[in-house]
Structure 1
Amino acid sequence: MQSTAIDLFAGLGGWSTGARMAGINVLWAANHWPEAVKWHAENHPTTAHICQDLHQADWTDVPKHDLLLASPCCQGHSKARGKTSGNPQHDASRSTAWSVISAIEFHRPPFAIVENVAEFLGWALYPAWLSAMNALGYQVAEHVIDCADLGVPQNRIRLFLVCTKSKSPLHLRLEKLEHVSATSFIDLTAGNWSPVEKPGRAAATLARITSGRAAYGEQFVFSYYGNTKSGRSLLRPIGTITTRDRWAIVNGDKMRMLTAAETLAAMSFPPETKTPNNHRLTVHMAGNAVPPVAAARIIEAALKAA
């Protein structure tokens, strides 16, 4: 019999797509954002969908399942939150993790896998969240993983909590794969290029490009914002994809940002993934997602170890 799953905070569908790759039937998916629900449904038409704040979810309406997948909002934990860390909206985003507890309390699935940024482990209420999982009979194995080690062409360090009804935590044996380079998805013939020496180009950008050229020659990528002061070789996985355009490609005397298609590929979404005809919206949804290839590898390892 095929295993079944539900997907909380489903977004564009990284977990659901990875589950499908692993042979799992995703029965139900939820998100509070109508646009995300719309595009998740486009890519997973046989899955039941609900657009709702999961704090108010009625778990009696959710089908029984073998595996709960969840990516509670990470902005309240991530270092990328910056000066907004004291914003009440971020406190509310942290509280979304309690919806996982609520769902598990009702359904008691054999497995749950929760993804977040590694900083989730430093949340003041994480010990209480962990105690709640233990009180429900679950052991929690903490895995901090670079998704590049699982075959995603991106260095993306994330936390995966494998929650099982077992006597001890289920620590996965994940094969470390050869890294996939950025050249696997970057198309130098695509996109809208502009001159590097374009009038008005920020001095900080030009300084990054100068450093990148010195290290990597005429073709490389660099972070358009953040603390990185140099470039990055195309022979490595790209750095972390975020919810807004971050990575620029330099090719000789021209440059451009990643296209939406390249961003999706960097996240390991299949090329047939349906997205809105809106670059900013697609990048936002992709940057919030779990890389499907990493999701599939983790689900497969969890089921094998059970």
Structure 2
Amino acid sequence: MVRTSINNSAGVRAIDLFCGAGGSSWGAKLAGAEVVAGFDKWDIAGDAYSANFPDAWFFEGRLEDWTNRQLRSEIKDINLLIASPECTNHSPAKGNSPRCEKSKETAFHVIRFAKVFEPRWIIVENVVNMRNWSRYDEFLDDLIGLGYHVSPQVLDSSLFGVPQTRRRLFLLCDREREPASITSNFAFPIPASSIIVKNSEYRFTPLRQPGRADATLARAERAMDVVGTKRPFLIVYYGSDHAGGWQRLTRPLRTITTLDRFAYVKVKKAQHFMRMLQVPELKAAMGMPMKFSVKTSSRRDSIKLLGNAVCPPVMRAAVRGLTRQA
């Protein structure tokens, strides 16, 4: 557990379960909440979270490692509980193995923490496929049984000023009234071209060079069949949406995952060159400011932090929409 001083200013006090680097916490802070603690079992996430929120507690370890008495003693009262339970095992491809079911059931820690702290508001964020989980209705019933009005809403980050298409389920919970629908004032999505760092020192290599995978070249050919040979585009790896393995730069970036999956292809002197998108570009595609830290000892871990994160502008809208009814 890492702690520095906590500012006990008036207003909404929040904690963040499964916080990662703190995307949800950053959004809550932008909405005016005071985030007093984050919880995660990954030490690398803890380092990033503490860098982003030096005035908050960070509890490292499994949530079941902390007793109710410890939690109440250290954190005191809160108004808002935010949680992003483990989500990767809600994919249909993962199946229903005992290990996968245990991962999905981390959501029930929300119920325990709600009983311990009795916050007025709860926001649970997860992949849309959480609705297909066999215990989803039971989870909702438990929240309702604690006295919460629960409003499941699917929000797309591209509608909240984020240059990425990222659809996520938000369970908005309020003890006192029915949560309002979360809306956005952004009329037009921001394109992926906005995140590309131009004239940088990032190293490009020729698209067509010895050793380049045939699948990569096939993706590029499909892109050029549509956009022509003079326009830049993105190659997309590990896709499951049958979109041909590429995308235009005029549209928001497709969903960032924990895998390194986006390559930028540009044209120079009638020759195509490519490079992978870099961490600062992916951070921008999450709607995070440059000062938001996902610094780790490896690119792979930084991308994992981003792929697991919540886009701060979306969480800001969710927190504002929920708490403004107070």
Fold match (TM-score > 0.5) = yes
Question: 2:308 maps to what in 1?
Answer: 288
Residues 36 and 285 in structure 1, CA contact (< 8 A), matched pair in contact too: yes
| Structure 2 counterparts to residues 61-210 of structure 1, below 5 A | 61-62=70-71, 63=75, 64-79=77-92, 82=93, 84-166=94-176, 169-177=178-186, 178-190=188-200, 191-210=202-221
Contact 2:216 2:235 in 1 (8 A): no
Q: Is the 8 A contact 1:55 1:96 kept in 2?
A: no
Q: Please state if 1:35 is matched with 2:19.
A: no
Q: Give the aligned partner of residue 288 of structure 2.
A: 269
Q: Encode CA deviations 1:128-162: one digit per residue, 9 max, x unaligned.
A: 11111111111210001111111111000100000
For 2:279 and 2:99, the matched residues in 1 are separated by 28
- Residues 1:230 and 1:77: Cα distance change in structure 2 (over 3 Å): closer
Say which one has the larger Rg: 2
SS in 1 for 2:88: coil
Q: Shift of the alpha carbon at 1:107?
A: 1.1
Matches of 2:266 and 2:99 in 1, distance apart? 40
Q: Percent identity?
A: 34
Structure 1 segment 14-25 matched on structure 2, within 5 A: 14-25=23-34
Matches within 5 A, 1:242-281: 242-252=257-267, 253-274=272-293, 275-281=295-301
The answer to whether the 8 Å contact 2:82/2:124 transfers is yes
- What displacement does 1:87 show? 4.2
Instruction: Report SS of the residue matched to 2:108.
Output: helix
| 8 A Cα contact 2:161 2:189, kept in partner | yes
* Post-superposition offset of 1:173: 3.8
Q: CA separation of 1:180/1:106 partners in 2, compared to 1, >3 Å: closer, same or farther?
A: same
Contact 1:213-1:231 at 8 Å conserved across structures: no
Change (3 A) 1:176 1:211: farther
User: SS in structure 2 opposite 1:76?
Assistant: helix
TM-score, with length taken from structure 2: 0.88
Query: 1:277: how far off?
Result: 4.3
Deviation at 1:270, TM superposition (A): 1.0
Q: Tell me which residue corresponds to 2:246.
A: 231
List, as ranges, runs of 4+ consecutive aligned residues in structure 1 with deviation greater than 6 Å: none
CA-to-aligned-CA distance 1:188-216 (integer Å, 9 cap, x gap): 33322111112122222111111112222
Structure 2 stretches lacking a partner, 5+ long:
1-9
Shift of 1:244: 1.2
Matched, 1:6 2:15: yes
CA deviation vs aligned residue, 1:243-302 (integer Å, no higher than 9, x gap): 010111110211111101111111111101222242111000010000111111111111
Q: Which runs of 5+ in 1 are unaligned?
A: none
Pair 292,173 (structure 1): closer, same or farther in 2 beyond 3 Å: closer
Aligned CA-pair RMSD: 1.5
Q: How far did residue 54 of structure 1 move?
A: 1.1
Under a length normalisation based on structure 1, what TM-score does the superposition of the two structures give? 0.94
Alignment partners' CA distance in 1, 2:323 and 2:253: 29
3-state SS of 1:269 partner:
coil
- In structure 2, what is the Cα distance between the partners aligned to 1:180 and 1:132? 38
Report if aligned partners of 1:142, 1:171 keep a CA contact under 8 Å in 2.
no
Contact 1:207 1:229 in 2 (8 A): no
Amino acid paired to 2:102: A
